[in-house]
Structure 1
Amino acid sequence: MEWAARAGYTARGAVYAVIGALALMLATGEGGQATDTHGAVAEVARQPFGSVLLVLLGVGLLAFALWRFAQAAWDLEDKGRSGKGLAARVGMVGSGVIHASLALTAFNLLRGRGGGGGGGNQSLTAKLLSQPFGQALVVLVGLSVMAFAGYQFYRAWKGKMLEKLTLSGLAARQRTWVERICKAGVAARGVVFLLVGWFFIQAALNADPGEAGGLGEALGTLAAQPFGPWLLGAVALGLVGYAVYQFCAARYRHIPTP
């Protein structure tokens, strides 16, 4: 269980490191692109020794998915059976499904079948809009995503993500920098989710599934704003910081077991 968790956090950190690095290259005019997690996995496939990297990444992402399912099934984080606790455990299952999908993307690329996974938010929005009260459902999804973004800002402000990291072995100055980087990373992820939530609301108001963008579209929107390269660069550095947080979780997080 501990192996799966630590391998999973490492793989997750690698994905966000690629996203952040590509966005930073785009912001500085050195190429790059605004992409999402599936696009990051596809980028790995294009690198030297891409097949080996895909195997490692796919196994790590699958391990993280299994870790998430175990967290939910055995309540490893002591969330309980209250409404709030059950919601948190359902969120863990959802995270597991998402990372299993990323692992499938890696394995499909390895087999030469293409990554797939693109247009997920548009497909979801189109399905919801076809239902009775579809626009209201999409608005609800958008508000939920924005609420999640708000929770990320709260975690960053209070340093909640640090509570399960055992950093006592680091020197005081190192620990301070690690804490700052982790907080910046979680806050940057909150910015991205805030934009994604707004995309859902815009799609609902205009009854247009094409306006429901994901992480890549959020980064592209930042790049298109006044002072876009600066905004994109700041968020890109934050996403690299989030990758550092994931690597720290792989090394220093307390991993509960059944």
Structure 2
Amino acid sequence: MHAPSMSVKGRGAARRAADSPVVDAAARWGFTARGVIYLLVGVLALQVAFGDGGGRQADRGGALAEIARQPMGAVLLWVLGAGLAGMALWRLSEALFGAAGPGGSEPGKRLLSAGRCVFYGFVAYSVLAFAAGERGSGSGSGDRDSRDITARALELPGGRWVVGIAGAGIAVAGLWIGVRAVLRKYRKHLKPGHMSPGARRLVDVTGVGGGAARGALFAAVGVFVVQAALAYEPDRAKGFDDTLRSFAGTPAGPWLLAAVAAGLALFGVFSFAMARWRRV
């Protein structure tokens, strides 16, 4: 009779740890940091679309370099890096103790949270390393990094399969992100009682438009990686910057790039909204 009671108490303590004010603040700080980066990437991509890029990269590295040039830029970089580390901490708590809401403790959702923890942990490390003075971290060329990683992977036994499967996974993830945004799956994570009608409209406009653009970008990156595997040419792999620029080479021209860029900026605003109204 005592063992089940102890087990229930243990789960309750774990859930309280996951729901602590520290984890809540870390998650909201993380959403804000993510919003700043996506907003800047969107603005940089819009400048590229209208011929005013000035040699800047429309990716995370370009956004960090832009921040570094501002007054108090070094401090802002530390704040952003800490926020992204907070996002990783929150995702880790979800992986360990389960996410808020129905079904939050399902194995699949915990595994997804673990993957997000690793992703945001890597991003946080790159931002903090750049803030500490390692200019090769965080602000390096994402396009060059993509080609280098692809080249090394292609040299592995069965490298073409490894790269091809990875590219397909990225493309599918992009489609998943876009479809979930269009279907407004984010609504189940919101606190509707704290939102005005105007706030709900803002979240829907930025969530759908921003999520669709982000999904399209990831899907395109994945397609280029698959092409690199099929052709056995690592130079065909592209990072965010080259992928965004490739949209301008379509029949829609710079207008498609501008639309995706505006969507990424909207996703930045959506992240700010999540920092305010998401249930953590």
Q: Quote the offset at 1:207 in angstroms.
A: 0.9
Report which stretch shifted further, 219-228 or 134-143. 219-228
- The equivalent of 1:26 in structure 2 is 48
Percent of matched pairs sharing the same residue:
38
| Matching residue of 1:6 | 28
Per-residue CA shift, 1:66-111, capped at 9, x if unaligned?
Answer: 1122221222251423xxx1xx434433332332233233333333
Tell me how far 1:29 sits from its aligned partner: 2.8
Task: Give the equivalent residue in structure 1 for 2:248.
Answer: 223
Instruction: Measure, in 1, the Cα distance between the counterparts of 2:148 and 2:51.
Output: 32
Does the 8 Å CA contact 1:144/1:197 hold for their aligned counterparts? yes
Aligned with residue 209 of structure 2, among 166, 171, 184: 184
1:217: Cα distance to partner?
A: 1.8
Task: Spell out, residue by residue over 1:159-210, the C-alpha distance to the aligned partner (whole angstroms, 9 max, x if none).
Answer: 1012211244443244224312211100001110111111111110111222
Residue in 1 that maps onto 2:12: none
**Which residue of structure 1 aligns with residue 83 of structure 2?**
60
Shift of the 124–69 alpha-carbon distance from structure 1 to 2, 3 Å rule, reads farther
Please give the alpha-carbon distance, in whole angstroms, between the structure 1 residues aligned to 2:192 and 2:99.
Answer: 21
Q: In 2, Cα distance between the equivalents of 1:143 and 1:238?
A: 23
Instruction: Please state if 1:241 is matched with 2:262.
Output: no
Whether the 8 Å CA contact 1:42–1:115 is kept in 2: the answer is no
After TM superposition, give the deviation of residue 62 of structure 1 in Å: 1.1
Matches within 5 A, 1:1-258: 1-31=23-53, 33-77=56-100, 78-81=104-107, 85=108, 88-117=109-138, 118=142, 119-255=144-280
Taking the aligned partners of 2:29 and 2:133, their CA distance within structure 1 comes to 25
Cα pair distance change 1:75/1:105, threshold 3 Å:
same
Once the two structures are superposed, what CA deviation does each residue of 1:138-177 show, in whole Å capped at 9, x if it has no partner? 1111111111122122212211012211244443244224
Q: In the alignment, residue 258 of structure 2 is paired with which amino acid? A: G
| Kept in 2: contact 1:7–1:63 (CA 8 A) | yes
**Alpha carbons of 1:126 and 1:154: their partners in 2 closer, same or farther (altered >3 Å)?**
same
Q: Distance in 1 between matches of 2:118 and 2:219?
A: 22
- Distance in structure 2 (CA, Å) of the matches to 1:150 and 1:100: 23
- SS of the aligned residue for 1:163 comes to helix
- If the length of structure 2 is used for normalisation, what is the TM-score? 0.82
Task: Extract unaligned runs of 5+ from structure 1.
Answer: none
- What is the TM-score normalised by the length of structure 1? 0.88
Q: Give the distance between the partners of 1:183 and 1:56, measured in 2 at CA.
A: 28
Q: Which amino acid aligns with 2:70?
A: Q
Distance 2:173 2:73 in 1: 34
Aligned residues: 250
Partner AA of 1:26 in structure 2 = V
- Determine if contact 1:9/1:246 at 8 Å carries over to the other structure: yes
Unaligned runs of 5+ in 2: 1-22
Q: Distance in 1 between matches of 2:198 and 2:77?
A: 35
Change (3 A) 1:45 1:115: farther
Task: Kindly indicate whether the alpha-carbon contact (under 8 Å) linking 1:45 and 1:109 is maintained by their aligned counterparts in 2.
Answer: no
C-alpha spacing 1:73/1:39, structure 2 compared with 1 (3 Å): farther
8 Å contact from structure 1 (residues 18, 40) kept in 2? yes
Summarize deviations over 1:205-237 as a string: whole Å, max 9, x none: 111222221222211111233332211110011
CA separation in 1, counterparts of 2:37 and 2:214?
13
Q: Which has the higher contact order (CA 8 A, sep 6+)?
A: 1
